[in-house]
Amino acid sequence: MSLYKTITGSKIFFIAGPCVLDTKENAEAIASKIAELKKKHNVPFIFKSSFDKANRQSLESYRGIGFEKSREILKYIKEKYTLPILTDIHEPAQAAMLDFVDVIQIPAFLCRQTDLLIAAGKTNLVVNIKKGQFASSEQMLDSVKKVFSTGNKQVLLTERGTFFGYGDLVVDFRNIAKMKKAGVPVVFDATHSVQKPGGNGNTSGGTREFIKPYACASLEFGADGIFVEVHPTPDKALCDGANSLDLKMFEDLVGSVIKRIKEVDNV
């Protein structure tokens, strides 16, 4: 069964991993926990991480370990832990380089970039389009159509909060229900939704304590999947640590989401 059929046939699925790869040891610690939770709960999980973060605010911000080293680690994770892999692209030419991934992600800031969306669609991989902080749910339906124009119907949409003044985000959970009108699964990014862009000066801050309640709340609006960034030591992470979960918090979140879904089924 294809990955897209697997996730669309499940009551919930998770996309989880570090913001950007730093070390193989950290990636493996996260992948091991994901594999453990996948077996325990019998729901789909996708390992996510970036090989490059090209949209950092500061020139000095950490961008990653480079494409070749990242490719090696992600292939290792995929093979050893039997996990599908998601990574993002920033330029159309990068789409053809990702022979080791299962899902191509379009970053929020680039959600309307026609050439990027079409290049991703032409790979025939699953394409996850993150809703821009500046975009309406209605505008995202047009982004889906751009991928559909390639003949690729394997699309996900992800809600990740909306700009609220400067340096803060707010979540309009109605966007989840509205984006489902596109006829594709909608994911809720519970970690970037609590991000405070530029909240620490030239790096992002975040309010980690709201991640789990946000994830559970998204289910009430029809979220099909949950996206979370995870790191063994978030406070030492080189990217987005303030809005990432440690392994124990991640396990607790997954358990809470699964419990809530079971409660709804029994109503």
- Asked whether the beta carbons of 184 and 148 are under 8 A apart, the reply is no
Q: Total domain count for the chain?
A: 1
Residue 11 structure tokens: 């009551």
How far apart are alpha carbons 236 and 67 in whole angstroms?
Answer: 22
* Helix 24-41, helix 67-81: angle, nearest 10: 30
Q: Amino acid identity of 43? A: V
pTM of the model: 0.94
**Residue 133 domain boundaries:** 3-266
CATH of residue 83's domain is: 3.20.20.70
Q: Which long-range contacts (CB under 8 A, 24 or more apart) does 169-176 make?
A: 169/133, 169/193, 169/194, 169/195, 169/196, 169/197, 171/214, 173/217, 173/218, 173/220, 173/221, 174/137, 174/221, 175/131, 175/137, 176/218, 176/221, 176/222, 176/223
DSSP state of 197: T
- Asked whether the beta carbons of 89 and 103 are under 8 A apart, the reply is no
10-55, pLDDT tens digit by residue?
Answer: 999 999 999 999 999 999 999 999 999 999 999 999 999 999 877 7
CA angle, residues 187, 238, 29, in degrees to nearest 5: 70
Q: Amino acid identity of 186? A: V
For residue 8, pLDDT beyond 90: yes
- The phi, psi pair for 19, rounded to 5°, reads -55, -55
157-211, pLDDT tens digit by residue?
Answer: 999 998 887 778 899 999 999 999 999 999 999 999 998 775 454 455 667 899 9
